[in-house]
Amino acid sequence: ENDVEKCALHFNGINIKLTKCGGLTPALRMISKAKELGIKVMVGCMTESTVGISAIAQLIPQLDYVDMDGAMLLKSDIATGVQITDEGKVIFPNLAGSGIQLLD
């Protein structure tokens, strides 16, 4: 989180990874700080399951850019939740919370 201000001195934006920053709460603080400093915000993923992708999707309205195709790269996923169509459309499940359901 403390690196957002340092990044603003040298870059036009930041790329937040939920897994690396500690989750949604630190990410929200980082987004707020970046917006305050006038820099762009991207949330990206590594090879995340649908659990991580569904978490990222909750932040979409606050982002300038988003990379959340990690689950599409998996041979086998551990959950269902937010889906992304081949055209890039995000489909939210009709469930509470982030819409995640672990698979058996």
Nearest CA-CA partner of 58 in 11, 13, 16, 87: 16
Whether the Cβ atoms of residue 91 and residue 84 lie closer than 8 Å to each other: yes
In this prediction the pTM is: 0.91
CATH of the domain at 58: 3.20.20.120
Q: Which of the four pLDDT bands, split at 50, 70 and 90, describes residue 91?
A: very high
Cα Rg of the chain, angstroms = 14
Residue 104 has pLDDT above 90, yes or no: no
Secondary structure E strands in 34-73: 40-44, 65-66
Domain count, the chain: 1
Across 63-84, average pLDDT: 94
pLDDT in tens, 23-59: 999 999 999 999 999 999 999 998 899 999 999 999 9
Structural domain of 38: 3-102
Whether the Cβ atoms of residue 1 and residue 33 lie closer than 8 Å to each other: yes
Whether the Cβ atoms of residue 38 and residue 7 lie closer than 8 Å to each other: no
